[in-house]
Amino acid sequence: MRRIVWSVLILFVLMGFVFSEGAGAQSVLFSGWIGLSPGSSLDAMEEFVESLGYAVTRSDSLPATLAGYDILVLMGGGSDDENIPDAVVDDFVNAGNGLLILEGIVEAGDFNLTAESNPVESCSGWDWRTNATVVDLDHPVCTGVSPACAFAGYSTSPVFKPGAHVLLQWDDQTPFAATYSLGSGLIVYFNHLQAWYYAFWGDDPANGGKLLENALAWVSPVSAGEETPPGLPEPSYVLYQCYPNPFGESTSLSYFLSNETRVCLQILDLQGRTVRVLENATISSAGHHTTRWDGRDARGRVVPSGAYVCWLKTDGAVRLGRIISTR
């Protein structure tokens, strides 16, 4: 029996499958201005992130190496006490890991604007702002978020570098949230001090929590979906790892449905723009399904080499996975 089990495991390895524990396998580091935090709101944010299945570590100063972490969350409060080493963060993101930046970290020079992983080009002083409107309802980070959010709090007025993509804006049209990328790594920037400092997402914790949940999933460096180990029941909706990954000519994307549901399966670039829609229909049969992507966009053009995001959206869930094209 042991020989059979090992034979099956070796077969999976040869086929290119790597089992993942899902979000529970992702390690998140909170660092930055944590030593000066009031505590309770940061505790609430940590508890929320842990409730999503992530393993959270806090550190008042950024470690010399970020090996072992999947996502870095830089906390800021308008102080210059952080002194964040730009090269450490840049290397971490460039290698394909995720970065969330919370307000204040760029305001006082603690995370230099010259850092490649910093989407902010320049920013002016603090001001009190209210409400936020979603300007890109189709982006995965905005999935399930109300088009009009009741946020209120202090923020800066940032000017972004080319390539940054604004997702939400305050009622005075100052950017509230934006995405960015470096190498194969993804970045989400939140321009809202009350996201963690004074209160957990201030006056709108429901939409704030959903934004944080989506942002973590967006930047998470999972290679592509997840596998369910033998002997465990299938979750309701699963996006499996594609094979092969990285791929040259084409790759297969498989997913599991527990019931009839509307399925939208898309390939996105790192800015969240649709490259190709692979499925957009009601699928009546539960079980496993496979779709092939030939590495081309909606116009039939071969996509450039690099990282892409596979986005599976059903009536009951959203799943994301990273795919690498090597053409």
109 and 248 co-located in one domain: no
The percentage of residues in the chain with a pLDDT greater than 70, rounded to a whole number, is 82
Rg (CA), the chain: 20
Asked, for residue 10, whether it belongs to a domain, the answer is: no
Asked, for residue 208, whether it belongs to a domain, the answer is: yes
The percentage of residues in the chain with a pLDDT greater than 90, rounded to a whole number, is 44
Asked, for residue 34, whether it belongs to a domain, the answer is: yes
pLDDT digit string (tens) for 109-151?
Answer: 678 888 999 999 988 878 999 999 999 988 989 989 999 999 9
- pLDDT score of 3 more than 80: no
Query: Would you state the pLDDT for residue 153?
Result: 87
Asked, for residue 122, whether it belongs to a domain, the answer is: yes
Locus of tokens 């970065």:
99
CATH of the domain at 259: 2.60.40.4070
Contacts of 267 (CB under 8 A, 6+ apart): 274, 275, 276, 278, 293, 308, 309, 310, 311, 323
Handedness of CA 133, 137, 143, 144 (dihedral sign): positive
Asked, for residue 179, whether it belongs to a domain, the answer is: yes
pLDDT digit string (tens) for 201-226?
Answer: 888 999 999 999 999 989 987 644 44
- Residue pair 190/106 in contact (Cβ under 8 Å)? The answer is no
176 and 310 co-located in one domain: no
Query: Would you state the pLDDT for residue 106?
Result: 67
Asked, for residue 316, whether it belongs to a domain, the answer is: yes
CATH of the domain at 27: 3.40.50.880
CB crowding 1-17: b at 16 or more within 10 Å, else e: eeeeeeeeeeeeeeeee
- Give the chain's domain count: 2
**Helix, strand, coil tally for the chain in percent (to 5):** 20, 40, 45
- Phi then psi for 206, rounded to 5 degrees? -65, -55
Query: Would you state the pLDDT for residue 35?
Result: 63
- Residue pair 79/104 in contact (Cβ under 8 Å)? The answer is yes
Nearest CA to 267 out of 306, 315, 238 is that of 306
d(CA 56, CA 28): 5
| pTM beyond 0.85, yes or no | no
214 and 299 co-located in one domain: no
Q: Could you tell me the pLDDT band of residue 159, with boundaries at 50, 70 and 90? A: very high
299 and 259 co-located in one domain: yes
- pLDDT score of 251 more than 90: yes
210 and 292 co-located in one domain: no
pLDDT digit string (tens) for 265-278?
Answer: 999 998 888 999 99
99 and 168 co-located in one domain: yes
Least confident of 30-44, 113-127, 160-174, 243-257: 30-44
Query: Would you state the pLDDT for residue 166?
Result: 96
Asked, for residue 299, whether it belongs to a domain, the answer is: yes
Which one of 159, 188, 219 terminates a domain? 219
Query: Would you state the pLDDT for residue 151?
Result: 93
Which residue segment(s) compose the domain that 82 sits in? 22-219
Q: How far is CA 128 from the centre of its chain?
A: 27
Query: Would you state the pLDDT for residue 161?
Result: 94
Question: CA 10, 11, 13, 18: dihedral to nearest 10 degrees?
Answer: -110
106 and 52 co-located in one domain: yes
Query: Would you state the pLDDT for residue 284?
Result: 72
Query: Would you state the pLDDT for residue 79?
Result: 54
